[in-house]
Chain A
Amino acid sequence: MFKVVSKEEIAPKFHRFVVEAPEVARKHRPGQFVMVLPSDDGERIPLTIAASDPGSGTVTLVVQEVGKTTMAMGLMTAGQEFFSVVGPLGTPTHIERFGTVVCVGGGAGIAPMLPIAGGLKNAGNTVLSILGGRTQELVILREEMAAVSDEIIHTTDDGSFGRKGLVTHALADLIAQRGNPDLVVAIGPAIMMKAVAEMTRKLAIPTLASLNSIMVDGTGMCGACRVEVDGKTKFVCVDGPEFDAHKVDFDLLIKRLRMYIPEEQVARERFMGAHECRATAGIARG
């Protein structure tokens, strides 16, 4: 079992878990993820490792409530345990001294960006970060990202914080002002990564994207997470999660992510029904 050492809400429906998993913490490299099964009758979900501390034997996971499993995790408290945490999985990010790297993180994608930006910074790169969210409070981990970035630009869809607009607008302006960076790393919703890839392809800027496909085992035994990269089928869980963004078929990825929308809806409504009293009580208090 994997004990939750601490849990805090860092933004509405965003929870930061620090979890005991000493072997995962020891081997973790930026870009890698874990499969988490919160309870023995649950499902396995992939979560990127936002930070690891081999000394205390813990990993940090940032979870956004989007469906039944993540909502149930949102109700967990420190001291409770996850049934299963497996990893670290996936191929680590290739980190070297590229020069100037722009890290573009959107929404929940900012969490997986954190260790990658840190790794790039440690390797001697100039790290420029662009972080975007729908509203101010959804631009998560701002301080943590600032600590590993030379410069940071925030964007919000509604203009409540930083610049108004999408991360791609900020990226376009940044490139216009400073010229082409040596590398762009994009992590966020598939639609955002696709938009970044389309922009940087025209400018021939090398671009990595960390893909977020549906996974079951996370060790390469089923192919649920398969995507097409350069016309070839790849498994995100072992070949990725990072790929050359200019070669990824994002339209296919976006379609495949919709596979279980009806079932996800059923599970979410069933869960909300069961927890109605609690949710209502929360609103009454709030």
Chain B
Amino acid sequence: MKVQRHEMPVQNPLARIRNFFEVALGYSAETAIEEAQRCLQCANPPCVKGCPVGIDIPAFVDLIRKADFEGSLAKIKETNTLPAICGRVCPQEEQCEIVCVMAKKYKPVAIGRLERFVADWERDRGLVSTPELAPPSAHKVAVVGSGPAGLACAAELARFGHKVTIFEALHKPGGVLVYGIPEFRLPKAIVTFEIQNLARMGVELRGNFVIGRTATVHELLNGYDYDAVFLGTGAGLPYFLGIPGENYIGVLSANEFLTRVNLMKAYDFPRSDTPVRTGRRVAVVGSGNVAMDCLRTAKRLGAEEVICVYRRTRNESPARREELEHAEEEAIDFRWLSAPLAIFGNEEGFVTGMRIQRMELGEPDASGRRRPVPIPGSEYEIAIDTAVIAIGQGPNPLATKSTPGLELNRHGNIVVDERTLMTSIPGVFAGGDIVTGAATVILAMGAGKQAALGIHDWLARLARGEVIKPQLA
């Protein structure tokens, strides 16, 4: 057995900052088989418990080892319908791989890369496999939001035989997978392919439908006659800093910047119609995965200097190490321990600069991370022509505000039963970022699956007449 973990080939940094093609190139079949041979096939595998959707990892890895890629993918699809996506964007280093037995002495088995490999292998050959479905039930379920939580919930419900409709506000399905995560990390053709799989399972996708505006949750239950509703509306409300000058032209939320570039393909302007303003010097405030996406996107749009402004140090950065390293390779200017104080602009209203306060780390705060403390007299200014604010998102209130009786916490997130994920309204369930606040793709998918079980149980009780749907007031 080879002890060394197989590295994944990547595009050269000098070349990749000039294009939007995928950075990581994926394993070859030979490399995948060799890497799969590193798996110890544990009798009681910790990796499965580390996976939020509980994929039978040793089984699918074993099938790769035997070069049965089709069988391997079928094994994954028993629990996860979006493997090409998860293999790319899951933080495996904190989930399945961190608990891998091989990680104790060597490096963990590259589970994410193997999952990605089999999914890509299938797609490259134009093969399509859908999991087996239960016979049709008499029930209709509305899934609100087509991000990772909604997609996972819909897939699971379809498998149970229920008729599922996904309602999406934007004109393309995928949520953060299409508007947020850039093409160079997650090609949109892959997202489209995996979502088409859901359609093949009988899931109906309805775009251009804004819950809270086009119809309310109560109307879905009554007028539209769904038996249950799942809310997976995500964390789509951008936070701003609340510092002076934030409304100057050229100051954008990360959501706006990424939506223009990813969903609307502004990188291809004027062949596509949506423009985006980048400028020569771009500052991105924040240091999470969204900030990394913004920094690397700005670089690819041709900005000469791209500056990351973050009030803590590299150690506290919430970004995946891999993304942080990729950004560093792409010559991003990281200003650690730097907090923005104010944004400046010119007469015409365009942003021209940012005042930054140097920080030092003090005692740990409630999050367990050391709190940044300003160093008096350390302020300095940088010249910029674009600022992107990537300091996090809150729950978008459109759906929740228009749903009387829905219990929310003080952050505006939906309160749910821990086990069933049912909200305070009978028959209405929720999961993903709208419940937890901004988290990861795979946690949202796990929640979607969990809610599907809760919904399946609710539908059974509805059929037995033990519960009734709330009526429109």
Contact = CB atoms under 8 A, between A and B. Distances in A.
A44 B249 contact: no
Contacts of A233: 240, 246-247
A270 B270 contact: yes
Nearest 7 Cβ contacts at the A-B interface: A255-B349, A263-B275, A222-B256, A43-B273, A221-B236, A84-B171, A43-B274
B238 A222 contact: yes
Contacts of A16: none
B214 to A, nearest CB: 5
A40 B215 CA distance: 24
Contact of A220 (B215, B246, B259, B397): B397
B255 A221 contact: yes
Contacts of B265: 41
Interface string A212-238: 000011011111101110000100001
| Contact residues of B: prevailing secondary structure | loop
Contacts, number: 117
Contacts of A37: 171
A85 B274 CA distance: 17
B398 interface: yes
Contacts of B396: 219-221
11 contacts: A23-B215, A42-B273, A44-B264, A216-B274, A217-B259, A220-B237, A221-B237, A222-B253, A238-B398, A258-B349, A267-B270
A254 B269 CA distance: 24
B247 A259 contact: no
Contact of B398 (A83, A219, A226, A263): A219
Interface in B221-278: 236-238, 240, 246-247, 249-250, 252-253, 255-256, 259-260, 264-265, 269-275, 277
A23 B260 contact: no
A223 B238 contact: yes
A223 B240 contact: yes
B213 interface: yes
Interface in A251-286: 252, 255-256, 258-260, 263-264, 266-267, 270
B275 A228 contact: no
A267 B210 contact: no
Interface stretch (A86-94, A98-106, A160-168, A198-206): A86-94
A88 B249 contact: no
Contacts of A88: 213-214
Interface of A: 23-24, 27, 37, 40-44, 68-69, 83-89, 216-217, 219-224, 226-228, 233, 238, 252, 255-256, 258-260, 263-264, 266-267, 270
Q: How large is the interface on B (under 10, 10 to 19, 20 to 34, 35 or more residues)?
A: 35 or more
Contact of A266 (B238, B250, B270): B270
A226 B349 CA distance: 14
B214 A43 contact: no
A44 B240 CA distance: 23
Given A24-B214, A221-B255, A226 B208 contact: no
Contacts of A224: 252-253, 256
A25 B181 CA distance: 34
| Most chain B CB inside 10 Å of its own CB: which residue of A88, A89, A222 | A222
Contacts of B275: 260, 263-264, 267
B63 to A, nearest CB: 38
* Residue with the highest number of chain A CB atoms closer than 10 Å, among B171, B237, B238, B260: B171
A267 B273 contact: yes
Given A89-B210, A222-B256, 11 more contacts: A37-B171, A41-B271, A44-B171, A87-B214, A223-B253, A224-B253, A224-B256, A233-B240, A252-B247, A252-B349, A258-B349
